Structure 1
Amino acid sequence: MSQTPETLHYPPQLRDFLAFPNIKLPDTFSTFMKSLLAICAIASISLISYSTFSNHSQWLNRSECEQTFTRSSYEDYYVLDHEETNISHILFGIGGSAKTWNDRQHYCESWWKPNVTRGFMWLNEKPANNTRWPETSPPYRISEDSSRFRYTSWYGSRSTVRIARVIKESFQLGLQNVRWFVLGDDDTVFFTENLVTVLAKYDHNQMYYIGGNSESVEQDVIHSYTMAYGGGGFAISYPLAAELVRVLDGCIDRYASLYGSDQKIGGCISEIGVPVTKELGFHQVDIRGDPFGLLAAHPVAPLVSLHHLDYVEPMFPGLTRINSLKKLVQAYKMDPGRALQHTFCYDLKRNWSISVSWGYTVQLYPSLVTAKVLATPIQTFVTWRSWSQDPFTFNTRHMSEDPCERPVIYLVDRVVEVGTGQTQSMYKRTVDEKGKQCGEKKYLPAFSVQYFNVSAAVFEADLWKKAPRRQCCEVVNGDHGVVGGVLQVKIRGCNRWETVTPP
């Protein structure tokens, strides 16, 4: 409502002047005061009009996207405190299906923490009437009807349109204190402590799109190298999400021919002009066969996610896929930042090379192998689409059928805490399923090692804020021989000038 000069609030001196208009003042002073009064009135009216227009303008900006949003733009977000990013700042949006949930809920429940993690499982319909939704799973919501959108990919599924809109429907909830939207599938396994570690490196007030590519080149060629793959999961900062949801529906129709929801989101983010920031710990696991070689030579980066575990062999022979995952997660919980971290060293007393993937496996080579070779994954798998031997987005080395050309393999048995901030992981020698064992003389001493005990300090998350470097290890009881079939190894930070260089 506008205000006339008579209803405006004035300083006491001006109120007195207005209350006694018959007071005689010098003409010059009277003219001056009337001019001043007019200026004040105009300024007040302008200020009120601007405020009204500004509020109206803000409402219009909100309505461009959704009037139901509680925050219209990411500028509002800047006023939040500057505490370090933690799990409460992440909102998960998991794309799922009511029909597949019973088969896949174990993957979600391996990482979901009720009352700690925030987010929703987005389903196409309500679960069956006789299905009681477990409290150990993310709460579910039903996606909006997406039948109005175009979808022309001849080999895909219309469900990808619905899943592409999970980011928008999550944003529309208007939940407070959200810095990152993390999207994934119902068979994506997140390692949440490491996810927080990765996202905490980035300024959440900026536009970020963080994830990883497929491991199989054929997938990247068909779909894209410039997008984050949805199965491995990806993170979108709040400011980018605010821009994305404004144009997402139009993008879905523009990219109707694209196969996947992650492709559609990637195309839309490309229109905004934000490139994908690649983090090596997001794993699509677009491979077939045995994932051993991939997991045994993890890059120097926190383990953030695993996908497609139903499509590869169990990580631990003799266990089911779910029990294999549980075993890996048990080790991970003892030292999240160190999970799958790769290190190797030499036992120069015996000319042995020892490769450790913490919490998973130890490989013993009865020879001195260069660091270049040890850091290269053994190819125990084939490509995702064509089941071919190559190519992959990383180098691999051949896994020989000859047992005399293969390392002796040990798999984690258990991880225990042995003191404040210290762990000991134990690895037990595996038996070749085909009963093959090398009979060469140099292998015989190696077979006397039945167990590896690996000690290490708990990996501090702050180490990931520094330039990445693989940690070092050393054989502790090398001078005293293998006692009781156990070889002791210690992992530690590298000393200055220290390298893994064979003599």
Structure 2
Amino acid sequence: MSQTQSRFGPSHDLLKASNFISFPEKPSDILVLCMRVGLLLCLVSSILIALYSAFFTQSQWFVLPTPAHTTRDVSFGDPEPTNISHILFGIGGSVWTWPKRRRYSEQWWVPNTTRGFVWFDSEPKNETGSIPYRVSEDWTRFKYSSSQSAVRIARIVLESFKLGLPNVRWFVMGDDDTVFFTQNLVSVLARYDHNQMYYIGGNSESVEQDVMHAYDMAFGGGGFAVSYPLAALLVNKLDGCLDRYYTFYGSDQRIWACLSEIGVPLTKQDGFHQLDIRGNPYGLLAAHPLAPLVSLHHLDYLEPMFPNQTQLNSLNSLMKAYRVDPSRILQQCVCYDRKRKWSISISWGYTLQVYPYMVPVKDLQKPLQTFKTWRSWRNEPFTFNTRPVSSNLCERPVIYYLERVEEVGKSGGLTIYKRYMVKEGKECDIEDYKRAKAVQRITVTSLKMDPENWRKAPHRQCCEIMDRGSVKNGNLRIRIRKCRARETVTI
């Protein structure tokens, strides 16, 4: 055995046999040995890194995803929650329709508070009122098949964005005969994160309209809202969409088609009312869905909301109640007079119905069908359930309309409803019905509804008959309040 072998023993023989590292026989071979050891270490390190990476990647399958936030109470990173100053309105009008329709816009527009413009097809020659206006850019270069004005109106969102106005979170589109209830609109939009891409609105009440256009499209007359990030993306695509979808009829359908390409669906919101109905809107407004009233459209095509009033006077009456308690306007609540076996339904700020018999809530929350479909003037179908107006006069309610509204202090409201007098010989003459008709006025008191309620789960409020149900001088008193714990409205 050599000196080297006796020094290192069998381990050295094994290394030599591997032919990878041979122990240096002389000092000059030390450099070679170091290089080979370095290579071996690199090889081992590479294997360890590969094994670690494989294990780490596999372990990611067990990490739960963070849920996305779609709504919020306050704006993340913003100094204040959404308010009216963050909304820019784009109203589609024309120099021909504006002289008549401006009366609707002027009902809800507050100078120096509401932001936006009515967009005309040419420079107006006459006085336009207190609402600022702009003249649309040339739109005649785009293709169209049935409505060239729809191209111009579709571009309002683009032209509004190009104005570059500061502090805009939402672009809200509507027609010059759309009536917005702006405080409720703010309550709705404040629920959503304006830094995300949102497209918010409602569809048509008449199924035939939704089938013809789209169920998942926001109908423009009822108004719709587009968040700033979505508008920023839409403006780069819109002109191309206008030519691609030139066969569409309306501006709202063109916008919807373009947003479909972007991949943003409609967020449906009750309270935007296209009012694609004909006749009397009473039944729908008397059983409003449990949501804030945001808009009304097509009022010129409907009977006045209040009897013996013009449509504009009717709107004035409704707006007076709205200004006293914006969040409560048209909100329905139901209570029972068990002693007399009466059912009472209140649409706050508008109407009150007394049935001289017991009617379940599930029926009272269905609108009486006092209207027909938009296009064909038929009795159905609609996108909500209805109940027919009975041919039996004794099964119809005794109807009361808002007569007066008052603010009580800073936190309360009082509304008085007067019985609607129908023509003689047109009412039921049984005793139960006559006792109900003896009530000439009904006074309803309530605390103002907190707008924050609309950020919570929907819950209809309750009402109760005061003074143990006594009728004094033909007047009955009712109080609306929050439902007590575990309270239900049951026959």
TM-score, scaled to structure 2: 0.84
Residue 339 of structure 1 corresponds to which residue in structure 2? 329
Matched, 1:245 2:235: yes
- Shift in CA distance, 117/398, structure 1 to aligned 2, threshold 3 Å: same
What corresponds to 1:282 in structure 2?
A: 272
Separation in 2, partners of 1:442, 1:367: 8
1:70-114 alpha-carbon deviations (Å, 9 max, x no partner)? xxxxxxxx9973310000000000000101111100000000000
Match of 1:486 in 2: 475
Q: Which residue of 1 aligns with 2:143?
A: 150
Contact 2:206–2:277 (CA under 8 A) maintained in structure 1: yes
Alignment check: 8 A CA contact 1:96 1:186 kept: yes
SS at match of 1:110: helix
Question: What is the rounded CA distance, in whole Å, between the counterparts of 2:158 and 2:93 in structure 1?
Answer: 16
1:270 matches 2:267: no
The amino acid that maps onto 1:139 is P
1:134 to 94, 109, 129: 129
1:1-36 deviation line (CA, Å, top 9, x unaligned)? xxxxxxxxxxxxxxxxxxxxxxxxxxxxxxxxxxxx
The CA deviation string for residues 137-161 of structure 1, in whole angstroms up to 9 with x for no partner, is x211000111111112xxx321000
* Kept after mapping to 1: 8 A contact 2:405/2:416: yes
Tell me how far apart the structure 1 counterparts of residues 160 and 241 of structure 2 sit (CA, whole Å): 17
Counterpart of 2:380 in 1: which secondary structure? coil
Q: Distance in 2 between matches of 1:79 and 1:366?
A: 52
**Structure 1 CA distance for aligned equivalents of residues 378 and 244 of structure 2:** 33
Query: Hey, what's the Cα distance between the residues in 2 that align with 1:292 and 1:420?
Result: 30
Listed one character per residue, the Cα deviations across residues 458-495 of structure 1 (whole Å, up to 9, x for unaligned) are 0100111110011111111234x211111111111111
The Cα shift of 1:411 comes to 0.1
- After superposition, the C-alpha distances for 1:237-269 in whole angstroms (9 at most, x for unaligned) are 000000100100000111111100000000000
Residue 81 of structure 1 aligns with which residue? 78
| Cα distance in structure 2, aligned partners of 1:435 and 1:196 | 47
Is the Cα–Cα contact under 8 Å of residues 347 and 478 in structure 1 kept in the other structure?
A: no
Q: Which residue of structure 2 lines up, in the alignment, with residue 102 of structure 1? A: 99
Partner of 1:461: 451
Q: How many residues align?
A: 417
For the 8 Å contact 2:197–2:228, the answer to whether it is kept is yes
For the residues of structure 2 that align with 1:249 and 1:189, how far apart are their CA atoms?
A: 28
Bigger Rg, which one: 2
The match for 2:121 is 124
Measured in 1, the distance between the counterparts of 2:423 and 2:195 equals 52
Per-residue deviation, 1:496: 1.2
Distance 1:381 1:501 in 2: 29
CA distance in 1, matches of 2:396, 2:181: 31
Residue aligned with 1:496, SS? coil
1:498 to 476, 487, 490: 487
Quick one: which amino acid aligns to residue 232 of structure 1? G
Separation (CA, whole Å) in 2 of partners of 1:444 and 1:435: 13
Within 5 Å, give how 1:96-245 maps onto structure 2. 96-128=93-125, 131-135=126-130, 138-152=131-145, 156-245=146-235
Which residue of the other structure, out of 304, 307, 311, is the alignment partner of 2:294? 304
For 2:300 and 2:306, locate their aligned partners in 1 and report how far apart those are by CA, in whole Å.
Answer: 13
- Measured in 1, the distance between the counterparts of 2:111 and 2:415 equals 28
Amino acid at match of 2:95: A
Q: Indicate the percent of aligned positions where both proteins have the same amino acid.
A: 61
On the 8 A contact 2:355/2:395 being kept in 1, the answer is no
What is the DSSP-based 3-state SS (H/G/I as helix, E as strand, rest coil) of the residue aligned with 1:314? coil
Give the distance between the partners of 1:453 and 1:442, measured in 2 at CA: 21
Verify: 1:92 aligned to 2:77, yes or no: no
Would you say 1:360 and 2:356 are equivalent positions?
Answer: no
* Residue 426 (structure 2) pairs with residue 415 (structure 1): no
Considering only aligned residues, what root-mean-square deviation do their CA atoms show, in Å? 1.2
Alpha-carbon distance in 1 for matches of 2:135, 2:424: 49
The equivalent position to 1:320 in structure 2, one of 299, 305, 310, is 310
- How far did residue 402 of structure 1 move? 2.8
Aligned partner (choices 381, 400, 420) of residue 430 of structure 1: 420
Contact 1:376 1:395 in 2 (8 A): yes
Tell me which residue corresponds to 2:40. none
- 1:288 is paired with a residue of what secondary structure? strand
Q: Secondary structure at the match of 2:221?
A: coil
Q: Secondary structure at the match of 2:80?
A: coil
- In the aligned structure 2, how far is the partner of 1:82 from the partner of 1:257? 44
Give the secondary structure class of the aligned counterpart of 2:307: coil
Gaps of 5+ in 1: 1-77
Moved over 6 A (4+): none
The DSSP-based 3-state class of the residue aligned with 1:431 is coil
Secondary structure of 1:231's partner?
Answer: helix
Contact 1:360 1:412 in 2 (8 A): yes
Amino acid at match of 2:159: E
Per-residue CA deviation, residues 378-424 of structure 1 (Å, 9 max, x unaligned), is: 00000000000000000000012332110000000111022330111
Contact 1:349-1:478 within 8 A present in 2 as well: no
